[in-house]
Structures are given as C-alpha cells and as structure tokens.
Amino acid sequence: MSQGWRAPVLVGALLLAAGCSDDPPQQSAPNPFGDSPPPVSDVKVDTPRLRELKAKAGMPDCPESTAGAAAVGGGLPDVTLPCLGGGRDVTLSGLTGRPTVVNLWASWCDPCREELPLLQEFATSAEGTVDVVGVDFTDTRPEAALELARRAGVTYPSMADVDGELKRPLRVRGLPWTVLVDADGRIVHTLSGQIHSIEELDQAVEEHLGVRVDG
C-alpha cells in the first residue's frame, strides 16, 4: 500500500470522527469589560417561564426603592433595572435606609458559582441588619441564571443588567464584583473578584459598614 493513498484516508477518518462527536460546542463567555460598551440587547428577563423558575428557586421580589431619588455623591447611580424573573423595577439610587451588599454575578461566571452560596449564608445571618441584592450582569441567559441561583440556594433578590449599564458607574472590571453601600446609599468599599469565605465578607462589612454580623 502506497504512502500517497494512506495519508488522505487517515485525514478523512479524523475529520469524520470530529464531525460525529457528541460533545456540545464550546461557548465562549462574553467580554463586557473592554473599552466599548456591550451592545444593547433585546433579552427579556420577565416572562411566564422566568417567573415560574424564579418561584421554583424561592427568590423574592426585588426591594422597593424611591423612584426619582437623586444619586448622592459617591453613591449608587440613578439607574433603574428590571427585577430578574419579574417584579418591580429598582432604582439603585433609591436603595437607602439600610446598609446593603450589592453583588454582580452571571450564569457564565465560574467564580460566581462558588461565591453565591457564601452570599446566601451572609444574607441569612445578616437578615434585618444588612440587605443583600444581586445583579445578573451582562447575562443573555436569564433561565440559566435562575437555575444557577436555585442550585446555589440563593433566596435573596436579583436585578438584571443585560446591557451593562452599571459597568462605568461602578467601574466594573470583572466578575464577581461586590460593592458595600451604607444606609445613605454611598458606596464605601468594593470587593473585586471572588469572595472566598464568609469570614472575609463579615470582616469587610464590619470594617467598612460598621456592622458586626454574628453567624
């Protein structure tokens, strides 16, 4: 058998094997952190199916906010976001009255999968003292986001920022991204990257918000 005949057969077999693979195609995560803003999306975050998934996850409605509240200096921006899975819209500058932990996450963010249960643990221990709210950031798969929340046991509310409106005002450079906000709506500290322990979050809240949470 000649070498000239065997080579194309081998190449053809390799191509055939590649075409018959049962593995799903790899999806690359979006990159909303470049210089250009993400394109405006028509993704809907409030549909009957999403409401069903939200109820299944045990996620409550988003918190009430003061519509038209003026943004304070160094505070949360005057941006209104829809509630993930349906419910009232939230004006971030109107989230005042209680210290708040705002966590940006997404279904495509691998570190978020490990971090979300810690946020939930903190939310449970800090209930009535410090609020915790999420923002599903630049996520075009709200169903996947709600499923992730369900698997992580997350029962605090989340808004949806599909178009990355918070990228510039919160100076988001990657996910996860967490900001600590005082009762007046001022951002007092930012935790960039993954929170690795409940103690780390407890310490940050006590140091920057002046609130001690006993787990």
Q: Where are the domains of the chain?
A: 48-209
* Count of all residues that appear for the chain in the document: 215
The amino acid sitting at 18 is: A
User: In whole angstroms, what is the distance from residue 133 CA to residue 78 CA?
Assistant: 16
CA–CA distances in Å: residue 48 to residues 54, 55, 87, 159 = 10, 11, 12, 17
Distance CA 46, CA 85 (A): 5
Instruction: Give pTM, 2 decimals.
Output: 0.81
CATH of domain 48-209: 3.40.30.10
User: CA-CA distance, 113 to 45, in Å (whole number)?
Assistant: 20
21-37 per-position pLDDT tens digit: 333 333 445 555 555 55
Q: What is the pLDDT of residues 151-201, one digit of tens each?
A: 999 999 999 999 999 999 999 999 999 999 999 999 999 999 999 999 999
